[in-house]
Chains A and B, each alone.
Chain A
Amino acid sequence: MSHARTKTVGVVSFLVAFGWAALAGQAAGEAQSPELKAHLAKLDAGAKTIDVSKYPDEQKAGYKLFAKKCSKCHTIARPINSDFVLPAQWERYIKRMMYKPNSQMNDQDGKTIYKFLVYDASVRKTEALRKALHELTDERAAAVDKIKAVNPSFTMP
Chain B
Amino acid sequence: MDSGTRSPRRQPAISYSLALAGLAALAAFLPGRADAIPAYARRYDTKCETCHFPMPPRLNNTGILFRRSGFRLPDADDKGNLTLNAVPAHSIGEAASVVANFAGRFDQVVNPGESKSTMEFGEVVLLAGTAVGEHLSAQTTFIPHTEEGTVELEGAEFQANYGKPGGQWSIRGGLIEPNLWQKGTHGTITLAGNLALSDASSVPVGSFPGFAIGHNQVGMEGGYTYTRLHNGKSCTTMLSAAVLNGVDETGDPASRNTTDGADVYFQAIQLFGARNTAGAFYYKGRTLIDPLGLLLPPGPFRDHFSRYGVMGNYVFLDRLDLEAAFADGKDHSDEINGNVVSRGAFAQADFQIRDRWVADYRRDYYDPDRGVGDDLIRAHTVSTTYQADDNLFFTVEYNQINEAGTLSHGFIGNVRFVY
For A, the interface residue count at a CB cutoff of 8 angstroms equals 40
Can you list 17 A-B contacts with CB-CB less than 8 angstroms, sorted by A residue number? A1-B153, A1-B255, A6-B153, A9-B153, A14-B126, A14-B142, A21-B89, A22-B91, A24-B136, A28-B131, A32-B45, A72-B47, A73-B46, A73-B47, A99-B77, A99-B78, A100-B232
Main SS at interface, chain B: mixed
In the complex the two chains form, what is the Cα distance from A133 to B265 in whole Å? 61
B47/A99 in contact, CB under 8 A: no
B92 to chain A, nearest CB (A): 5
Q: Assign chain B's interface to a size class.
A: 35 or more
Q: Which of B27-35, B79-87, B283-291, B321-329 lies at the interface? A: B79-87
Given A17-B128, A22-B91, A74-B47, the answer on whether A102 and B86 have CB atoms closer than 8 Å is no
In the complex the two chains form, what is the Cα distance from A43 to B91 in whole Å? 27
Q: Which residues of B contact A75 (CB under 8 A)?
A: 47
Q: Which residues of A contact B47 (CB under 8 A)?
A: 71-75
* Interface mask (A63-81 → B, CB under 8 Å = 1, otherwise 0): 0000000011111000000
Say yes or no: is B373 at the interface (Cβ < 8 Å to chain A): no
A28/B88 in contact, CB under 8 A: yes
A30/B87 in contact, CB under 8 A: yes
Main SS at interface, chain A: helix
B140/A28 in contact, CB under 8 A: no
* Interface mask (A17-29 → B, CB under 8 Å = 1, otherwise 0): 1101110111110
Say yes or no: is B374 at the interface (Cβ < 8 Å to chain A): no
B140/A13 in contact, CB under 8 A: yes
Say yes or no: is B239 at the interface (Cβ < 8 Å to chain A): no
Q: Which residues of B contact A104 (CB under 8 A)?
A: 232, 274
Q: Which residues of A contact B120 (CB under 8 A)?
A: none
* Interface mask (A85-128 → B, CB under 8 Å = 1, otherwise 0): 00000001001101111111100000000000000000000000
* Interface mask (A32-56 → B, CB under 8 Å = 1, otherwise 0): 1000010010000000000000000
Say yes or no: is B3 at the interface (Cβ < 8 Å to chain A): no
Q: Which residues of B contact A28 (CB under 8 A)?
A: 86, 88, 131, 133-134
Say yes or no: is B398 at the interface (Cβ < 8 Å to chain A): no
Say yes or no: is B156 at the interface (Cβ < 8 Å to chain A): yes
B87/A10 in contact, CB under 8 A: no
Say yes or no: is B138 at the interface (Cβ < 8 Å to chain A): yes
Taking a contact as CB atoms closer than 8 A, the residue among B62, B86, B142 that contacts A31 in the complex is B86
Say yes or no: is B61 at the interface (Cβ < 8 Å to chain A): yes
Q: Of B44, B62, B90, B229, which is in contact with the most chain A CB atoms at under 10 Å from its CB? A: B90
Say yes or no: is A134 at the interface (Cβ < 8 Å to chain B): no
Q: Which residues of B contact A18 (CB under 8 A)?
A: 89, 91-92, 95-96, 128, 130, 138
Say yes or no: is B2 at the interface (Cβ < 8 Å to chain A): no
Taking a contact as CB atoms closer than 8 A, the residue among A6, A27, A40, A101 that contacts B229 in the complex is A101
Q: Which residues of B contact A11 (CB under 8 A)?
A: 142
